Chain A
Amino acid sequence: AQSVTQLDSQVPVFEEAPVELRCNYSSSVSVYLFWYVQYPNQGLQLLLKYLSGSTLVKGINGFEAEFNKSQTSFHLRKPSVHISDTAEYFCACLIQGAQKLVFGQGTRLTINP
């Protein structure tokens, strides 16, 4: 079975500081990887995805993530955060050809002025 672990439940950072949200996955087969953002009382918005090819993936709002197969990780980074980045972030994996996304527990990113 596949699983996704987000190593930090909460990450507080100061505005304009860099941030990394950590994600590890477990799967015996190839997967696609995603990061979603959820603002309060909203659904999920796709930030970026890794399907194949370059291991460094750039997404919306200045976020990027790096796929590391040997470490089974897909960490999300942003060099300088803004107050508006305050939200819940979810890492997810999808088995190639399968139906369901498997989500991590989420990381709450709080930006302090």
Chain B
Amino acid sequence: ETGVTQSPTHLIKTRGQQVTLRCSSQSGHNTVSWYQQALGQGPQFIFQYYREEENGRGNFPPRFSGLQFPNYSSELNVNALELDDSALYLCASSLRNVLNTEAFFGQGTRLTVV
């Protein structure tokens, strides 16, 4: 058990809708990263948040956006959902420290777009 919790665990949405996924980071961790894992693929980096600001972004369109709150929890928002957005969305928390590069992952949110 890593202490990183994500909600909901499963979600079904219709194409064109918007979705918000949530992540509570491990106690003491100040950095949250989001990854998309399509079926049969490795996770792909979406973006990272540190001190409530986006701190690095992968190759994802602007309709993928996020927030980080003062308690370091985070949200991933996806607008105008497309069928290809169906995937497992993983949140990872870490401590931004040059000596500590370990990220702890949550169990993920499985999003299905129909």
Number of interface residues of B (CB under 8 A): 27
* The residue from A36, A43, A103 contacting B107, defined by CB atoms under 8 A apart: A43
Instruction: Choose among B43, B98, B101, B110 the residue that contacts A44 (Cβ–Cβ < 8 A).
Output: B43
Cα A36 to Cα B101 in complex, Å, equals 14
CB of A43 within 8 A of CB of B56, answer no
Contact status of A99 and B33, CB under 8 A, knowing A43-B90, A104-B42: yes
Q: Mark out the residues of chain B between 60 and 114 whose CB falls within 8 Å of any chain A CB in the assembled complex.
A: 90, 92, 98, 101-108, 110
Smallest CB separation, A78 vs chain B (Å): 20
Asked if B41 and A100 sit within 8 Å, CB to CB, the answer is: no
A74 to B90, CA, bound (A): 24
29 A-B contacts, Cβ less than 8 Å apart? Answer: A41-B110, A42-B107, A42-B108, A43-B2, A43-B4, A43-B6, A43-B106, A43-B107, A43-B108, A44-B105, A46-B104, A49-B102, A51-B101, A90-B42, A90-B43, A92-B42, A97-B98, A99-B48, A99-B55, A100-B48, A101-B33, A101-B92, A101-B103, A102-B45, A103-B35, A103-B42, A103-B43, A103-B44, A106-B41
